[in-house]
Amino acid sequence: KSRHENDIQRPVFHGLPATNWTNEPHGLVYFNNKYHLFFQKNANGPYWGKLHWGHLTSDDLLNWKEEKIALSNFSSYDVKGVWSGCVFTDDVLTGGKPGIFYTGADYVKASINQAEPVDDNLINWTKNTTNPIIPNRPAGLSDDFRDPYIFKSGNEFYLIVGTSKDGKGAATLHKYDAAAKKWSNDGSIFYKSESTNYGFFWEMPVIVPMNDGKWLFLVTTLGASSGTETLYWVGTINPDGTFNPYSSIPKEVELGNMSTNGYGLLSPSLLQKDGKTIALGIV
């Protein structure tokens, strides 16, 4: 604390780690009477690289405590970094406890991986022995393939990943085979932008249910005409798990281009609790 006590640019209201590099949050979850928020962290210094999953906890979303690092890049498939993803809880898919789904990167490719909590406090985690659960990007997409997010529609589990297709932002679609305990990786697209105005790449995709069968889909854009910002669509989920927006034209999460070029809320992590949808992002 003494190192930063006179730093007038260091926030005191928002949750943040003790020091060094932090980036987008993910995996906002309420479990065992506590809020948990994970985030991109480099404990080695205030610079980008070799990223881990940091961990913050709170009783009230106002006062935050930094916990030990949840995931580190010690495996062959994530030696270049344990990158962003989500936390998902389901009796079938994760045994009733929150499970981490994240992007791992070696020095050749990105893959999608899974980790399980060792305890009910979600402090200690172990990586799935079957990792990677999706070993590589589908054919026909850009080399950039990251940030998984899981949702359930009907009785089916789906996983979407941020990517680029034909020079436009897109999200891949992967379906879970419960009998084989495997995810598809056939190149199916959850949704793709119809215009380069909405970015050449999408990261941190999020899809959550709303009322009356509606779904909220949001992404953080790269290379959009308005810069880097969070855009969203509202629509429905088709029987095959793909997204059907009411309009192909997205809207901004923040009003008046407040987040243009990344100066606002980016990469929000969403939690639905007690009838409310809570979003926490990097600012």
* Tens digit of each residue's pLDDT (9 = 90 or more) over 149-183: 999 999 999 999 999 999 999 999 999 999 999 99
Contacts of 100 (CB under 8 A, 6+ apart): 27, 38, 53, 70, 71, 85, 86, 87, 114, 115, 116, 125
Residue with tokens 């006179």, as numbered in its chain: 6
**Whole-number percent of the chain with pLDDT over 90:** 80
pTM of the model as a whole: 0.96
Q: Is 41's pLDDT higher than 80?
A: yes
Q: What is the model's pLDDT at position 260? A: 78
Q: What is the pLDDT of residues 229-255, one digit of tens each?
A: 899 999 999 999 999 999 999 999 987
Q: Is 8's pLDDT higher than 90?
A: no
Q: Is 220's pLDDT higher than 80?
A: yes
Counted residue by residue, the chain has a size of 283
Preceding amide of 132 cis, omega within 30: yes
Q: What is the model's pLDDT at position 157? A: 98
Q: Would you call 211 helix, strand, or coil by DSSP? A: helix
Residue with tokens 């105005």, as numbered in its chain: 197
Question: How many angstroms separate the CA atoms of 155 and 21, rounded?
Answer: 40
Q: Is 207's pLDDT higher than 90?
A: yes
Q: What is the model's pLDDT at position 272? A: 94
Q: What is the model's pLDDT at position 168? A: 94
Contacts of 21 (CB under 8 A, 6+ apart): 40, 41, 42, 45, 46, 47, 48, 51
Cβ–Cβ < 8 Å for 230, 219: yes
Question: How many angstroms separate the CA atoms of 188 and 160, rounded?
Answer: 10
Q: What is the model's pLDDT at position 10? A: 84
Residue range 61-88: average pLDDT? 96
Residue range 81-104: average pLDDT? 97
Q: What is the rounded radius of gyration, in angstroms, for the C-alpha atoms of the chain?
A: 18
Q: What is the model's pLDDT at position 130? A: 95
Q: Is 48's pLDDT higher than 80?
A: yes
Q: Is 96's pLDDT higher than 90?
A: yes
**Whole-number percent of the chain with pLDDT over 70:** 100
Q: Is 12's pLDDT higher than 80?
A: no
What band does 205 get if pLDDT is binned at 50, 70 and 90? very high
Cα atoms in the Cβ-side hemisphere of radius 13 Å centred on 60: 3
- Sign of the CA dihedral 193, 199, 200, 203? negative
